[in-house]
Structure 1
Amino acid sequence: MLPFGFARFGSLLLLTLLGSIREGRASPDAGSDPTAIGSACCRSLSGKFPSQVLFPNSPPYNDSVSSYWAQQEQLISPLCIVLPTSADDVAATLQVLYHGSCKFAVRSGGHGTSANASNIDNGVTIDLSALDFILLSGDRSAVAVGPGQTVGDVYALLYKAGLSFAGARDSGIGIGGSTLGGGLGYFSPFSGFACDSVVEYEVVLGNGTIISATQDNNSDLWHALKGGGNNFGIVTKFVFKVFPLGSIWTGQAAYAPSAVNNAAQAFYDFVSDPNYDNSASLLMSYGYNGGSTPLIELEYVYAAPVVDPPSAFAKFYALEGQVANETGITSAPALSIKSGVMAPGGQQQVTFAMSFQNNAQMLPIIWTMYNSSIDSISSIDGIAWILTFEPVVQSLVNHSKANGGNILGLDISSQGLVLAHFSASFDNAADYSTVSIAAEKLLQNINGVAKKIGTFNPYVDLNYAKTTQEPFLSYGSDNYSFLKAAAKRYDPALMFQNLMPGGFKLS
């Protein structure tokens, strides 16, 4: 493994010249047969990597496809799957795909919620699972992680060293997609977004060049990757800052609908507290499973092994209408595994994201709209209908700025910001349209009332965004222009716009 800060290749002048010479070849002819084009690329890849290309109807191929989290990704059948074992393999793969004008997808953990997010029909899926290294630096200040790793394994290794990092929550989530989309987790109030802790990206660009992006080297790419998704290249190494952490305190509680007004006030007070405790993290959700009564659910995390329940959450402890409660001392890897168990794979998924200024009136109004939306989906087999509220406090934004900033465009008031993440899980693809329409209606209703009472915020979290949303535009016009300029510089042939359809694109 090369030193964290060493750029293996990378003359930007040469890169730009190569991109200019090749520009236009990354778009297949309109009349071309995509199956024939993709099959030709699969044959070429198999010639280069005889043992690393999987074809349909083989057990390894079937295992790979069936291991995606969302059912809609499992139902997609690529013409072949290539399993690179190094950045050089990724570079060679991209060169084959470029010259063949072949459509492709890139998989990190395979935890995306939309079809084609990390898999593709009539194309090539690049599965990065073999790039699964986790290397702690000698001075224990940083960890280098391959995109084939999941956050749960990173938590586990770091925990043994008395450390942790700013990763996502569920153990099965891949490092790649979650970090490139921003990434909020248990420790965000004092660590920022996951992308804020990245000090280096190793990136394979569309023409096969492998470069390092840091705050001092290719800094515009480093900045663009902090929320810009998959529009620039394939990241083959992430280097994260780490911080000391041992055991933690966690709690879960559920409340009857009668608690909604008091829970809303407690949530507002928690987020807007001028003396906010940065060790405290909270999620509040409205939850419904088919046939059950909708409940208000809370998840607390405190980044220290306190004996008594932390005072930061005291206003929630006093709420009436509690129907369940569980607290205890645990660890980040154990909590991550538990979160993953609560969100098993294999179902259809619909998500959306929106945000609003922290406001005590909003949550009861949203509760009413949320309850009204249940009628249209209550008969769907296996339905889980969950709307989660996540605070963004000033300390989180300050941490982002202190680490060079990101591209998300967040600037919040002293009251704080609330991110709303919606997730619907259900059994059958035949119900997708019904669920998607109901989710879209709920999203529009919430946005409508936020605009009416003056709490609307444009930010859309890339990792939860619905396919109809445009998260990059929500970052603000200057940041959007910056992202487009970075894409043009590092991917001048627009390979990641034209040949890689999955994910949110800049054009």
Structure 2
Amino acid sequence: MPSKLALVLAAATFASAQNITVANLTTGANCACTELAATYGDLVITSNASTYTAEATDYWDIRADLLPGCIFMPTDADQVAVKILTPPQFPGSNINGGVLLALNNMTTITIAADNSTFDVSPGNRWVDVYEALTPYGLYAIGGRLKTIGVPGLELIGGFHYLINKYGYAMDNVLSYDVVLGNGTQVVVNSTSNPDLFWALKGGANNYGIVTKFTVIALPIPYISTTIQTFNESAVPAFIDATANFAANNPPDIAAGSVISITYNQTTGEIVPSLLGVQEGTESPPSRFANFSAIPSTLALNNVLTPIEWHSQLDPPNQMFRVQFASKTMKPNSTQLYQIYEAWKSALEDVSDVEGLVPTFVMNTMPASAASVAMTNGVGNTWGLDDTQSYIIFQYSTGWANASDDLRMLNWASKMLDYWHLQNQELELASEFVYMGDAGDFQDPFAGFPLENVQKMREIRDVYDPLGTFKRLNWGGFKLGN
């Protein structure tokens, strides 16, 4: 889960008051765990503890399950603060056998007296935030699904339903409290460390550990929601409505969606579905009229509080292995339908894979969402054109067995590369890859403007000159050298 940070300390230890340098990876991990346990007691979970397995596997994707040497669960920023001295010949290991820093105990949410902002600690999930905000008639730009964690979404950019008016999650963060790789705690905002403030907006976990986010609270007590499903015969009209929605979603009405087409391996059924949200109480929400005009198998419209909506949307946890893979393109219904048809046909190539759960996802990126960053005086690292809307087409695939991992990766990557090339030839392609929809074989930073990536690396080297988060924190996407 995003409330955990795989900060690998197999060749070092961390504590707020001391540095320990060791000369062996295995003994380094043991030393780190021993020192942490001596200092923090019950906040350290060792491999023989009854709660170890539950914490080590608290991820929705089974492929993320690894075996750390111990798990440290700090309760505040002082306990997070790290000082790491690692000999260069021992650059660390993966989290197997290392120290997993789990931020689950840091769950404070504080709403400002004027209700304009709130402070949130990194152990929260977005459903916790919405639950805290709803009694005050407030909402926030955060995760669309129930169990998405706060820090992961904020640091990679953050899709929400209402981005066309309010921008991405990162554009709604006003301040960060950050622990740097040398243990220093800094406040990061538009006037304090403004270069790092910009870099954190899409820079992922390359700079430090964020122990508090200050986020804009929106006075939105109610949202109008729609859940619609369709038969396979509706796919052409469904994709046409998706492309139209992507290209024509101006910010006068805040609205957005989760749009997908799912294949059922058991029945062979294809099910297009829409989860739509619009600000306010107009029901059914008018922004989804093109979808509502398609004959459906289900059309459920409601006016709900944010927590009533988000508490329903709980993705499966630890049910299967998962691979994302995505590319970005300009809205074009003809080409998008061809990409879908190719995906559907390619399912025959993996039809024998046990536990196959494939979904074709279409995430829309309205041009106005990028405009928020262009006008807030800060910007973000993505550098998107605010005159162009996009669609991210994603292959989201689940399966049962580790023996099929490589096969499923190759299946998705081959298909993805082919259609991206076709889109390039038609001048429909964007090189942008959203981290939240990316496969582990993809490099999202390669799709950022080159000058932004260079600037991000320079900022990283200023705030983390020893490369703590480059060398020892192997999780997530890295900026490179």
Give the TM-score of the pair, scaled to structure 1.
0.86
User: Are residue 45 (structure 1) and residue 36 (structure 2) matched?
Assistant: yes
Instruction: Tell me the SS of whatever aligns to 1:413.
Output: coil
User: Are residue 263 (structure 1) and residue 238 (structure 2) matched?
Assistant: yes
Supply the distance in 1 between the matched residues of 2:249 and 2:126 (Cα, whole angstroms): 31
* Equivalence for 2:4: none
What's the offset of the Cα at 1:465?
Answer: 1.3
Supply the distance in 2 between the matched residues of 1:50 and 1:274 (Cα, whole angstroms): 53
What's the offset of the Cα at 1:473?
Answer: 1.8
The amino acid across from 1:232 in the alignment is Y
Supply the distance in 2 between the matched residues of 1:250 and 1:459 (Cα, whole angstroms): 29
Q: Given the superposition, is the C-alpha separation of residues 339 and 98 from structure 1 closer, same or farther in structure 2, using an over 3 Å criterion?
A: farther
The amino acid across from 2:54 in the alignment is D
Between the aligned residues of both structures, percent identity stands at 28
* Equivalence for 2:67: 77
Q: 1:364 aligns with which of 331, 337, 340?
A: 337
Structure 1: runs of 5+ lacking an equivalent: 1-25, 106-115
* Equivalence for 2:352: 379
* Equivalence for 1:197: 172
Q: 2:220 aligns with which of 235, 238, 245?
A: 245
Instruction: Tell me the SS of whatever aligns to 2:477.
Output: coil
Alignment of 1:269-284 (within 5 A): 269-273=244-248, 277-284=252-259
* Equivalence for 1:36: 27
Q: In the TM superposition, what whole-angstrom CA distance separates every residue of 1:326-357 from its partner, at most 9, and x where no partner exists? A: 222223223222221x4333421111222111
The amino acid across from 2:185 in the alignment is I
Matched-pair contact (CA < 8 Å) for 1:38–1:103: no
* Equivalence for 1:131: 106
* Equivalence for 2:324: 351
Supply the distance in 1 between the matched residues of 2:162 and 2:347 (Cα, whole angstroms): 32
Q: In the TM superposition, what whole-angstrom CA distance separates every residue of 1:141-166 from its partner, at most 9, and x where no partner exists? A: 11100000000000111011100111
Supply the distance in 2 between the matched residues of 1:330 and 1:224 (Cα, whole angstroms): 35
Q: In the TM superposition, what whole-angstrom CA distance separates every residue of 1:248-283 from its partner, at most 9, and x where no partner exists? A: 121122223332332233223222237564322123
Q: In the TM superposition, what whole-angstrom CA distance separates every residue of 1:300-351 from its partner, at most 9, and x where no partner exists? A: 1112122x3122221222224x3333222223223222221x4333421111
* Equivalence for 2:12: none
The amino acid across from 1:373 in the alignment is A
Q: 1:158 aligns with which of 133, 146, 153?
A: 133
Instruction: Tell me the SS of whatever aligns to 2:215.
Output: strand
Instruction: Tell me the SS of whatever aligns to 1:486.
Output: helix
* Equivalence for 1:480: 453
The amino acid across from 2:78 in the alignment is D
Across the aligned residues of Structure 1 and Structure 2, the Cα RMSD in angstroms comes to 2.1
What's the offset of the Cα at 1:363?
Answer: 1.6
User: Are residue 65 (structure 1) and residue 39 (structure 2) matched?
Assistant: no
Matched-pair contact (CA < 8 Å) for 2:371–2:386: no
What's the offset of the Cα at 1:64?
Answer: 0.7
What's the offset of the Cα at 1:99?
Answer: 5.2
What's the offset of the Cα at 1:299?
Answer: 1.8
Q: Given the superposition, is the C-alpha separation of residues 122 and 169 from structure 1 closer, same or farther in structure 2, using an over 3 Å criterion?
A: same
What's the offset of the Cα at 1:33?
Answer: 4.2
User: Are residue 421 (structure 1) and residue 394 (structure 2) matched?
Assistant: yes
Matched-pair contact (CA < 8 Å) for 1:256–1:323: yes
Q: Given the superposition, is the C-alpha separation of residues 333 and 422 from structure 1 closer, same or farther in structure 2, using an over 3 Å criterion?
A: farther
Q: 1:396 aligns with which of 348, 369, 372?
A: 369
Supply the distance in 1 between the matched residues of 2:87 and 2:297 (Cα, whole angstroms): 59
Q: 1:172 aligns with which of 147, 154, 160?
A: 147
Q: Given the superposition, is the C-alpha separation of residues 42 and 65 from structure 1 closer, same or farther in structure 2, using an over 3 Å criterion?
A: same
Matched-pair contact (CA < 8 Å) for 2:59–2:317: no
Supply the distance in 2 between the matched residues of 1:326 and 1:142 (Cα, whole angstroms): 32
Q: Name the count of aligned residue pairs.
A: 458
Matched-pair contact (CA < 8 Å) for 1:98–1:495: no
* Equivalence for 1:90: 80
Supply the distance in 1 between the matched residues of 2:231 and 2:208 (Cα, whole angstroms): 47
Q: In the TM superposition, what whole-angstrom CA distance separates every residue of 1:28-82 from its partner, at most 9, and x where no partner exists? A: 99xx6422221111112222212211100211222211322211222x1100111
Q: Given the superposition, is the C-alpha separation of residues 276 and 126 from structure 1 closer, same or farther in structure 2, using an over 3 Å criterion?
A: closer
Matched-pair contact (CA < 8 Å) for 1:149–1:174: yes
Instruction: Tell me the SS of whatever aligns to 1:386.
Output: strand
Instruction: Tell me the SS of whatever aligns to 1:368.
Output: helix
Structure 1 stretch 160-169 or stretch 326-335: which is displaced more? 326-335
The amino acid across from 1:42 in the alignment is C
Matched-pair contact (CA < 8 Å) for 2:368–2:386: no
The amino acid across from 1:326 in the alignment is L
Q: Given the superposition, is the C-alpha separation of residues 264 and 68 from structure 1 closer, same or farther in structure 2, using an over 3 Å criterion?
A: closer
* Equivalence for 2:7: none
What's the offset of the Cα at 1:506?
Answer: 1.2
Q: Given the superposition, is the C-alpha separation of residues 437 and 303 from structure 1 closer, same or farther in structure 2, using an over 3 Å criterion?
A: same
The amino acid across from 1:134 in the alignment is I
